[in-house]
Structure 1
Amino acid sequence: MRTTLRQLGVDTGYLLSMFFIALPSFIIGLVGTLLGVGTAVIWIGVPIAAATLFAMRGMAAAGRSMLPAVLRRELPRPRYKRAAEDASALRRFLTVLTDGQSWLNVLWAIAVLPVAIAGFAITIAWWSVTVAALLYPTYTWIIEAATGDSDDGLHYATVWLGWGDSYLARSILAVIGGLIMALTLIPVLRGMALAQGYIGKGMLTSISGFHERIDQLEESRNAATSAEADALRRIERDIHDGPQQRLVGLGMELARVKRQLATNPEAAQETLEAAISQTRETIDELRSLSRGIAPPILTDRGLDAAMAALAARSLVPVELETDLNGRYRASVESTVYFVTAECLTNIAKHSQATKATVSVEDWGDRLVLSVGDNGIGGAHVSKGHGLSGLTDRVKAVEGQWTIDSPDGGPTVIVVEVPCA
């Protein structure tokens, strides 16, 4: 109830104040634009139009100031076009003429005025009638005592209802009407405020929203590129330091076997056995490296089966719960799989946990992965720690994640990946 009343106050203030913003905005925007366009042929209109657009930026900022409170959401700030750093003062001044958001500010001023007038009038009228009706019993008797006239029009209604024309009957009817007006006050003012608010949102923040979305996509792309580059560098380094060196050594061992076969068969047999052992170690190392590449089970059978395989291979016992609906985009399945693998590896290495839990749920527009353990806690995402690679991997698919790992445990990691 307190939230509803607070919102009613916000909507009332917005509707009343917007009239005093919309009216001068309309005058400045329309008159300045018409004057600037009309005299543009003799060039004097160009600076007039530019000055008008600059003035409208201030009016638009005033109209946008209360939108977050009315719409109950944060809105992006406008991004106006800027001239180059080395541009002249005249060029900087005239750049506003090529800025789309500045012209949308003028269009907003023209479109919002009728709605602002209606909102202002309805707000004044609804509040006045509501308060006057609810307080009718407290002031009417004073007026009647001062004027000696009790004919205020309500007695026609009370007589028609069969209540008579007494002061009590008229007061009851007035209070009932006031209560009805009070009950409709909230939805009426809320509707008017939203009507003005959405006009402002559409014209004053839409381009900024597109810019913000572009920035998010660019950030996701950069994160994906960074994650891929890091993975390739890691695989390249690991192959160079591990299997490649082992294969070089294996080639030398086989060459020694070839030389020993003719002179010392027993030594050749020992060297061959050592080469076979080295081959097995190289195969095991290659298998370990291949864990950074999507396994066949994920590609062929999907995320559900791949998560079960991960849980079965974990060095720490895992309680797995999945609630999935078929297959998802390859990037989504790969992200959830490798984030889980990275978390389980970190649990086995650092947490000293005796049990881990993994759950994956389909929430319609996103997959929600939760990984927890009963270990010592203290996990964080600093460089050089097991979880440092999660940020780029999750950001690459426009996901988000949180970690709760106090000292002493337990640790819970929640990852949300869009899948719609």
Structure 2
Amino acid sequence: MATEYRQECRREYRGEYGRGHEQGFGRATGTGHALPAVLRAPFEPRSWREFGYVLLSLPVSVLLFTWSVTMVSLGAGLLVTFIGVPVLAAALAGCRGFGALERARARGLLRLDVAAPEPLRIRQPGALTWMGAVLKSGASWRNMLYTLVQFPWAVFSFSVAVSFWSLGWTLLTYPLWFWVFPMYVGQSGLQLYGDGHHSIYLDNPFEIALAGLAGLLFTLTTPWLVRALTTVDGLLVRGLLGPSLLSVRVVELESDRGIVVDTAAADLRRIERDLHDGAQARLVSLAMGLGLAKEKLLEDPDSAAAMVEEAHGEVKLALQELRDLARGIHPAVLTDRGLDAALSSVASRCTVPVKVDVDLPTRPAPAIEGIAYFTVSELLQNISKHSRARSASVDVWRSENRLLIQVRDDGRGGADVSHGSGLAGLAGRLDAVDGVLVVDSPVGGPTRVIAELPWRTSV
């Protein structure tokens, strides 16, 4: 449950909620609809779902408003005694329950998926602990505020929506049933105005046709009006019944901290493995070879010299492996000369020609500089191994308070962050420092990867 809540909060903070929400009536051409969006609007399921949401909002809001006002007033009045505390806690707990029902109603009728607020922090079981957690929770008070604010808005939206909807369909269908008035009511048509001296009826063909046209106008515009009303409802649900920005940010930072810890541990294991399997094994072999050469130095000087020569070659290989390992931890050229020279060095080792363009007014903080370097290094490694490209390019520049990196190649494409590849790990590392990784790689290419990092200058 904690993992799911964390993922929902991360999506909320990144502004990704509502992707499943339908995109409105006015879709572009090519959707396969014969009628324009404005003519389809009164008959589309979404319009009726939203109208149903507005209709249900009135009785629901009356129930919620009555509960909140009654229970909170009773609890506040009894605070002079201990009884008021559990009553107030029960009032807030009920508001949290109503908030869950409202999120479900918005999800079912408005297709608005809002994450649940942060759970209660109950450190140990017990009635007093639970009451304290409910009273201290900001989400509880936001849910209670929703029950108070939603009531007047529900009355307004219900009145407007029902008035426009009923007026539109009444006038639109009037040419079909206007005959009811002269036959059964005893008047020539629908009365628009009347007093003791003058009356106006819709009773001639022109007026009947004009009423039908007015009804058509109301019918076509009412769904859009209802959509505007439910948009406000969505803002209320998201703002008061969902997680707060602060709690979402806390969850985001907790998750990022876990990613940073896991990444650091993985890097340490990689360094240990490279040392054990590479330089350490080579140095052990070197020590054994030098020991044998020492034993044969007096008996067979030629063999000892050959073994020393072989050991000398092993020393060179061990030094090269240690240099490669140090470069993998943090390259000296990056520290000494910055991103331009470091990325040019990485590009020179790529199996395809790479054009590097670094346009930075100053150097960023060493941590950001290091992340940028390893991001480009890993992307170029992917190009060498998987892309089958003939050329690639790396562009680095600053835009306001962000450091932007773009890596492009003309390879076969098909790269996808969601398939658990190295790109997924890279995206997680960037996300841990408030960065973003965007991959545009259609099958057949070309591939463009954009990495965005926060700009921080050296202290």
On the 8 A contact 1:129/1:181 being kept in 2, the answer is yes
Question: Contact 1:343 / 1:371 at 8 angstroms: preserved in 2?
Answer: no
* 1-structure distance, mates of 2:136, 2:415: 55
What letter is aligned with 1:20? P
User: What does the per-residue CA deviation read over 1:372-416, in whole Å, with 9 as the maximum and x for residues that have no partner?
Assistant: 85599999978xx9779646534534545779899xx99979575
5 Å matches for 1:171-210?
171-207=208-244, 210=246
- Cα shift at 1:199: 2.2
Partner of 2:326: 290
Shift of 1:105: 1.7
SS of equivalent residue, structure 1 residue 78: coil
For the structure 1 residues 388 and 182, does the alpha-carbon distance in structure 2 shift closer, same or farther, using more than 3 Å as the test? closer
Question: Does 2:352 align with 1:317?
Answer: yes
Residue 110 of structure 1: aligned partner: 148
How far apart are 1:149 and its partner, in Å?
Answer: 3.0
1:13 matched to 2:52: yes
The CA deviation at 1:127 is 0.6
Tell me the equivalent position of 1:161: none
CA distances 1:173-219 after superposition (whole Å, capped 9, x unpaired): 32332243234424422222222321222221133x54343223222
Whole-angstrom distance in 1 between the partners of 2:387 and 2:430: 25
How many Å apart are 1:7 and its aligned residue? Answer: 3.9
C-alpha separation between the residues in 2 aligned to 1:221 and 1:13? 44
Report which stretch shifted further, 19-28 or 291-300: 291-300
CA shift at 1:57, angstroms? 2.3
Residue in structure 2 matched with residue 130 of structure 1 by the alignment: 168
Instruction: Answer yes or no: is the 8 Å Cα contact 1:329–1:419 preserved in 2.
Output: no
* CA deviation string 1:206-235 (max 9, x = no partner): 33x543432232222221222122223322
What per-residue deviation string (whole Å, max 9, x for no partner) do you get for residues 126-146 of structure 1?
111111222222222331343
Shift of 1:124: 0.6
Instruction: Look up the equivalent residue of 1:138 and give its one-letter code.
Output: L
Determine the C-alpha separation between the residues in 2 that align with 1:128 and 1:97: 44
Alignment of 1:357-376 (within 5 A): 373-374=411-412
Three-state SS of the structure 1 residue aligned to 2:317 is helix
Query: Residue 114 of structure 2 aligns to a residue in which SS?
Result: coil
Q: Aligned in 2, Cα 1:392/1:184: closer, same or farther, shift over 3 Å?
A: closer
Note if contact 2:171-2:214 (Cα within 8 Å) is conserved in structure 1: yes
| Cα distance change on mapping 1:137 and 1:410 into 2, 3 Å | closer
User: Would the alpha carbon gap of residues 362 and 143 (structure 1) be closer, same or farther in structure 2, given more than 3 Å must change?
Assistant: farther
Q: Secondary structure at the match of 2:80?
A: helix
> 1:41 corresponds to which residue?
80
Query: Paired residues, what number?
Result: 404
TM-score by length of 2: 0.68
Match of 2:192? 153
SS in 2 for 1:65: helix
Partner Cα distance (2:88, 2:293) in 1: 89
TM-score normalised to the size of structure 1?
0.74
Greater CA deviation, 116-125 or 316-325?
A: 316-325
CA distance, structure 2, for counterparts of residue 58 and residue 306 of structure 1: 56
Corresponding residue SS for 1:317: coil
Moved more, 124-133 or 289-298: 289-298
**Structure 2 unaligned regions, length at least 5:** 1-24, 28-40, 195-200
Measure, in 1, the Cα distance between the counterparts of 2:364 and 2:130: 49
1:216 pairs, out of 249, 252, 274, with 252
Are residues 49 and 135 of structure 1, via their aligned partners in 2, closer, same or farther at CA, if it must alter by over 3 Å?
same
Query: 1:185 corresponds to which letter in structure 2?
Result: T
Verify the 8 A CA contact 1:356 1:374 in the aligned structure 2: no
Aligned twin of 2:182: 144
User: 1:55-104 CA deviation, whole Å, 9 max, x = no partner?
Assistant: 2222222222233477765321123315345x235654664333332222
**Which aligned pairs between 1:11-410 and structure 2 lie closer than 5 A?**
11-68=50-107, 73-85=112-124, 87-89=125-127, 91-92=129-130, 95-146=133-184, 147-150=186-189, 152-153=191-192, 167-207=204-244, 210-243=246-279, 273-274=309-310, 276-295=312-331, 298=334, 306-314=342-350, 316-318=351-353, 334-345=370-381, 351=386, 353=388, 355=390, 373-374=411-412, 390=426, 393-397=429-433, 399=436
Aligned partner of residue 249 in structure 2, secondary structure: helix
Does the C-alpha gap of structure 1 residues 375 and 95 become closer, same or farther in structure 2, counting only changes over 3 Å?
A: closer
SS in 2 for 1:59: helix
In structure 2, the CA distance between the partners of 1:152 and 1:192, relative to structure 1 (3 Å rule), is same
121 and 323 in structure 1: CA distance in 2 versus 1, 3 angstrom threshold: farther
Indicate the structure with greater helix content.
1
User: In structure 1, how many angstroms separate the alpha carbons of the residues matched to 2:187 and 2:419?
Assistant: 81
| TM-aligned CA deviation for residue 352 of structure 1 | 9.6
Q: RMSD across aligned C-alpha pairs, in angstroms? A: 4.8
Q: Deviation at 1:123?
A: 0.7
